[in-house]
C-alpha cells in the first residue's frame, strides 16, 4: 500500500500525498509525451512509454488503496477526490501480475494491429493507410471504389476480434476490484450519476435531437439516391455507410457537394482571404488569442509562443494532429499543430485555445480537480468558441468587408449539420454498444451482428453487404481497440450549443444563434471564466448552472440553432419517404 496504514486516520493526508506524487509523475509524462510527439524516434517512444507506465501504475495503486479509506472520517472534498481518483483511468488492470501484464499486452497488440493496417485499393499498386483510404471516402464519387476502400479498411477488425474478447474479460476484472460491476458501469460513473440513470439521461438527450437527425437523414438519402441511383441507395431503409463521405459515416460534410442547395456558396472564401493577406501560422494563432482577450481573459504567456509547435518541422517526424497541452499543470501551455493557412485550421486554432484557457483557469485547484467538470465539457468549450467564428466575427476582426446576406445561411447551416448533427447517433452508439458488451448483454458470438443493429437503430446506416461474425467492424474505429471512451463527444456536441446560446444571451443578443458571436463580450467572458475555474471541484450540474443557469443538459439550444434548417428540410422532404 501507498502508506494507507499510516494515514488511515487522516484521509486528507492520504489524498494530499497521492496528489503530490501523481502531479510529479503527470508532469514527467507530459514532458515525455511532448518530446515524443514533436520528435518521433524509438528512443523518445521508449521514454514516453516508461513515463506513462509509472503514472498508470502509481494511479492504480493509489486508486485501489483509496477504496479502503474510512468514509466516516472524510470530508465532502475528500470523498470527491477519492471518487475522481478511482475514475481517473479508463482502464484498470487486475491485481494479479500475470493478468495485469496480459491486459497491457492485449491493448498494445490491438493498437498495433490497428496502426499498422493497410489496404491496396482499386487502381493502386501499393497498400495505403487509413488516412489515404479516408480521402477516397470523402473525395471519390465512384461507388465501386468507395465500397472497395470501405471493405478493405474494415478487414482490420478480423485481427482485433480475438484479443478484444480477452480484453473485455480482463478489463472487467480490474473494474470489479474498484467496486464496479463492469468497465461500462465504471465509465458511466464518471458523470456524477448512478450508471443506469446516466444511461437513461443519454437516451433522453438522443430523443430530443432524433427528429432533426431523421429529417437530415431523409434529405441526404433522397439526394444520394438521385446521384447514385436506386441500385445503390434505397428509397426507404438504411443508407449504405460507404456513401456518406467518412469511413465510419460519423460525419457527412465530405458529401456536401452532392447534397448542397443551389445557392450554397457562402459568398466568401476565408482560406483565400487568409492566403492573400500573407497570414503566417503564428498570426493565425494570434487571431484566436485576441478572441479570448476580447472576453476579458489574459493573454497567453510568452512561453506559449516560444515552445508551441505551429509548423511541421523539415528535419524530423512529428504527430501533426492538433492538440492542446498543459505540461506543468500550471502555466506551461502549448499547442501542437502543423498549421496550414485554411479556414478549417483557423477554426481549429480557436478550438484548441479553448482547451488551453480551460487548463489555465483550473490550474489553481488541487491536482485531482485540475480537469473539466466532466469529459464532455473540455471538448464542448473548444467547440463553443468555434461556433463564434461567424461571418460577423470575421468582419469585426477585419477579414471580411461585410457579412454575406442571410439568404445564403441554409448552405452554411446544412454544412454544419452534416458535421455536427450527423455525428450525434454515432457518438452515442459506440459506447452504447460497448456498455452491452462489458455487461455481458452482448455475447462474443454476437459482436458484429449487434454492432450493425446499433448502427441501423441509431444512425440508419448499413454495410454494403451482410457482415458475418468472422468480421469485427467495431475494431475498425480507433477508440474501440484503444480503449478510449467515446461518450464525451456525444455530450460535447450538445453542450457546445447550450454554452453558445447562454453566452450569447448573456450579452443580450437576440438574432439567430448561428449568426451570433461572443467576440468582445465581457459578460460572456466572466461567465465562461467562472465555470472554467471550477475545474472538477464541483459536480457537473453546478458547473453547467454557472455558465447556462440550468442544471440539466438538453438539446433545445442545438434545435434552436438549426431551426431555420429544420424548416427548410421539412419543405424539401415533403412527400419523401422518411425513417428506416
CA angle 164, 322, 372 (to 5 degrees): 75
Residue 95 is assigned to a structural domain of this protein: no
The pLDDT, as a whole number, for residue 139 is 95
Mean of pLDDT values over 49-61: 88
The answer to whether the Cα torsion of 214, 217, 221, 227 is positive or negative is positive
**285 within a domain of the structure (yes/no):** yes
Q: Are residues 150 and 191 in the same domain?
A: yes
User: Distances in Å between the alpha carbon of 131 and those of 59, 64, 117, 153, 420?
Assistant: 34, 40, 11, 10, 21
CB 353 within 8 A of CB 335: yes
Q: Are residues 131 and 196 in the same domain?
A: yes
pLDDT at 184: 98
Domain residues for the domain of 192 are 106-170+186-266+421-485
Q: How far is CA 108 from CA 96, 100, 118, in A?
A: 18, 12, 18
Q: At what angle do helices 156-177 and 143-154 cross, to 10 degrees?
A: 40
Domain stop point among 32, 58, 89: 89
Catalytic residues: 321-322, 351-352, 355, 379, 479, 489
Arithmetic mean of pLDDT, 438-467: 97
* Helices assigned H by DSSP within 241-342: 256-259, 270-276, 281-294, 302-307
Contact 280, 508 (CB under 8 A): no
Cβ atoms < 10 Å from Cβ of 248: 23
Q: Is residue 345 part of a domain?
A: yes
Whether the per-residue pLDDT at 2 is higher than 60: the answer is: no
Which helix (H) or strand (E) segment holds residue 336: the answer is strand 333-336
Regarding whether 505 and 477 lie in a shared domain, the answer is: no
* 349 within 8 A of 363, measured Cβ to Cβ: no
Q: What share of the chain is helix, strand, coil (3-state, %, to 5)?
A: 65, 5, 35
Instruction: Encode pLDDT of 458-503 as tens digits.
Output: 999 999 999 999 999 999 999 999 999 999 999 999 999 999 999 9
C-alpha cell at 47: 521514454
Taking 50 as the threshold, does the pLDDT of residue 115 lie above it? yes
How far apart are alpha carbons 28 and 328 in whole angstroms?
A: 9
How much is the pLDDT for 8? 57
- Provide the pLDDT confidence category of residue 5 given band limits of 50, 70 and 90: very low
pLDDT bracket for residue 104 (50, 70, 90): confident
Judged against a pLDDT cut of 90, whether residue 206 lies above it is answered with yes
Residue 300 and residue 380 in one domain = yes
Q: Which three cell numbers stand for residue 556?
A: 433545445
In a domain, 97, yes or no: no
Average pLDDT, the chain: 94
- 515 shares a domain with 546: yes
Mean pLDDT of 507-519: 89
Residue 578 placed within a domain: no
Encode pLDDT of 179-193 as tens digits: 999 999 999 999 999
Greater model confidence, 53 or 362 = 362
What's the whole-number mean pLDDT along residues 13-31? 96
Q: Which residue has the cell 489553481?
A: 364
pLDDT band per the 50, 70, 90 thresholds, residue 56: confident
Number of domains in the chain: 3
C-alpha cell at 157: 477488425
Residue 3: pLDDT above 70? no
Asked if 366 and 493 sit in the same domain, the reply is yes
Segment 64-99, tens digit of pLDDT: 999 999 999 999 999 999 999 999 999 988 988 888
Among the listed residues 22, 17, 20, the one whose alpha carbon sits nearest the alpha carbon of residue 4: 17
> Residues 519-556: pLDDT tens digits?
999 999 999 999 999 999 999 999 999 999 999 999 99
Give the pLDDT confidence of 331-358 residue by residue, as tens digits: 999 999 999 999 989 999 999 999 999 9
Is 266 a residue whose pLDDT tops 80? no
How far, in Å, CA of 358 to CA of 364, rounded?
A: 11
Q: DSSP string covering 428-487, please? A: HHHHHHHHHHHHTSS-GGGHHHHHHHHIIIII-EE-SS---TT--GGGGSTTTTTT---H
| The three grid cell numbers given for residue 503, joined into one nine-digit string | 453566452
The last residue of one of the domains, among 445, 467, 485, is 485
* φ, ψ dihedrals at 215, nearest 5°: -65, -40
User: What is the longest distance spanned by two Cα atoms in the chain?
Assistant: 73
Find residue 333's DSSP bridge partners: 326
Q: How confident is the model at residue 7 (pLDDT cuts 50, 70, 90)?
A: low
Pairing assessment for the beta strands 239-240 and 461-462 based on DSSP bridges: parallel
Asked if the model's pLDDT at residue 6 lies above 70, the reply is no
| Same domain as 427, residue 310 | no
Distance separating alpha carbons of residues 404 and 75, to the nearest angstrom:
56
- Asked if residue 212 is part of any domain, the answer here is yes
How confident is the model at residue 108, as a pLDDT?
87
For the chain, the first-to-last Cα distance in angstroms comes to: 55
Report the pLDDT value the prediction gives residue 202, as an integer from 0 to 100: 97
Q: Are residues 110 and 84 in the same domain?
A: no
Segment 382-394, tens digit of pLDDT:
899 999 999 999 9
Cα–Cα dist 476/140, whole Å: 20
| Mean local confidence (pLDDT), 422-438 | 98
The angle formed by the CA atoms of residues 489, 178 and 534, to the nearest 5 degrees, is: 45
344 and 258 in a common domain = no
Alpha-carbon distance of 92 to 171, in angstroms, equals 6
Residue 577 is assigned to a structural domain of this protein: no
Does residue 339 share a domain with residue 306? yes
Same domain assignment for residues 119 and 205: yes
Q: Render pLDDT for 231-265 as a digit per residue (tens, 0 to 9).
A: 999 999 999 999 999 999 999 999 999 999 987 77
Q: Give the pLDDT of residue 264.
A: 77
Residue that is last in its domain, among 89, 120, 139: 89
Shared domain for 344 and 476, answered yes or no, is no
Q: Tell me, yes or no, whether 380 lies in a domain.
A: yes
Amino acid at each position: 500500500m501507498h502508506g494507507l496504514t499510516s494515514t488511515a486516520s487522516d484521509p486528507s493526508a492520504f489524498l494530499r500525498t497521492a496528489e503530490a506524487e501523481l502531479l510529479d509523475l503527470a508532469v514527467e509524462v507530459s514532458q515525455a509525451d511532448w518530446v515524443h510527439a514533436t520528435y518521433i524516434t524509438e528512443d523518445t517512444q521508449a521514454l514516453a512509454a516508461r513515463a506513462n507506465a509509472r503514472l498508470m501504475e502509481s494511479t492504480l495503486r493509489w486508486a485501489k488503496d483509496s477504496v479502503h479509506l474510512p468514509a466516516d472520517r472524510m470530508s465532502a472534498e475528500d470523498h470527491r477526490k477519492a471518487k475522481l481518483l478511482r475514475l481517473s483511468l479508463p482502464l484498470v488492470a487486475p491485481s494479479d501480475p500475470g493478468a495485469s501484464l496480459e491486459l497491457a499486452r492485449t491493448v498494445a497488440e490491438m493498437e498495433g494491429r490497428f496502426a499498422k493496417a493497410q489496404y491496396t485499393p482499386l487502381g493502386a499498386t501499393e497498400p495505403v493507410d487509413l488516412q489515404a483510404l479516408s480521402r477516397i471516402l470523402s473525395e471519390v464519387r465512384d461507388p465501386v471504389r468507395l465500397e472497395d476502400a470501405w471493405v478493405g479498411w474494415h478487414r482490420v477488425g478480423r485481427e482485433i476480434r480475438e484479443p478484444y474478447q480477452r480484453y473485455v474479460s480482463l478489463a472487467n476484472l480490474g473494474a470489479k476490484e474498484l467496486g464496479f460491476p463492469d468497465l461500462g458501469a465504471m465509465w458511466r460513473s464518471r458523470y456524477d450519476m448512478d450508471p443506469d440513470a446516466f444511461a437513461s439521461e443519454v437516451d433522453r438527450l438522443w430523443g430530443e435531437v432524433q427528429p432533426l437527425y431523421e429529417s437530415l437523414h431523409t434529405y441526404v438519402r433522397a439526394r444520394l439516391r438521385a446521384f447514385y441511383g436506386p441500385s445503390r441507395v434505397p428509397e426507404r431503409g438504411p443508407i449504405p455507410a460507404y456513401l456518406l463521405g467518412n469511413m465510419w459515416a460519423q460525419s457527412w460534410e465530405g458529401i456536401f457537394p452532392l447534397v448542397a442547395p443551389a445557392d450554397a456558396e457562402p459568398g466568401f472564401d476565408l482560406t483565400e482571404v487568409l492566403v492573400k493577406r500573407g497570414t503566417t501560422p503564428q498570426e493565425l494563432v494570434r487571431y484566436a488569442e485576441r478572441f479570448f482577450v476580447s472576453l476579458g481573459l489574459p493573454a497567453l504567456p510568452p512561453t506559449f509562443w516560444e515552445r508551441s509547435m505551429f509548423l511541421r518541422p523539415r528535419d524530423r517526424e512529428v504527430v501533426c494532429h492538433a492538440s492542446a497541452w498543459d505540461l506543468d499543470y500550471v502555466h506551461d501551455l502549448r499547442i501542437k499543430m502543423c498549421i496550414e493557412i485554411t479556414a478549417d485550421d483557423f477554426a481549429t486554432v480557436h478550438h484548441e485555445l479553448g482547451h488551453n484557457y480551460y487548463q489555465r483557469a483550473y490550474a489553481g485547484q488541487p491536482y485531482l480537480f485540475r480537469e473539466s467538470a466532466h469529459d464532455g465539457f473540455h471538448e464542448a468549450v473548444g467547440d463553443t468558441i468555434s461556433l463564434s467564428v461567424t461571418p460577423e466575427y470575421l468582419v469585426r476582426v477585419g477579414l471580411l468587408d461585410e457579412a454575406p446576406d442571410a439568404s445564403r445561411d441554409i448552405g452554411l447551416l446544412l454544412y454544419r449539420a452534416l458535421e455536427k448533427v450527423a455525428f450525434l447517433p454515432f457518438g452515442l452508439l459506440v459506447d452504447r454498444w460497448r456498455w452491452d458488451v462489458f455487461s455481458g448483454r452482448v455475447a462474443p458470438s454476437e459482436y458484429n451482428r449487434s454492432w450493425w443493429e446499433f448502427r441501423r437503430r441509431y444512425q440508419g446506416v448499413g454495410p454494403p453487404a451482410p457482415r458475418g461474425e468472422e468480421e469485427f467492424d467495431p475494431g475498425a474505429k480507433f477508440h474501440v481497440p484503444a480503449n478510449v471512451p467515446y461518450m464525451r463527444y456525444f455530450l460535447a456536441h450538445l453542450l457546445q450549443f447550450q454554452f453558445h446560446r447562454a453566452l450569447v444571451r448573456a450579452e443580450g443578443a437576440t438574432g439567430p444563434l448561428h449568426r451570433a458571436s461572443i467576440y468582445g463580450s465581457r459578460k460572456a467572458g466572466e461567465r465562461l471564466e467562472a465555470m472554467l475555474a471550477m475545474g472538477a471541484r464541483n459536480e457537473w450540474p453546478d458547473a453547467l448552472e454557472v455558465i447556462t443557469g440550468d442544471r440539466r443538459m438538453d438539446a433545445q439550444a442545438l434545435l434552436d440553432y438549426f431551426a431555420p434548417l429544420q424548416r427548410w428540410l421539412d419543405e424539401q422532404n415533403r412527400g419523401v419517404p422518411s425513417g428506416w
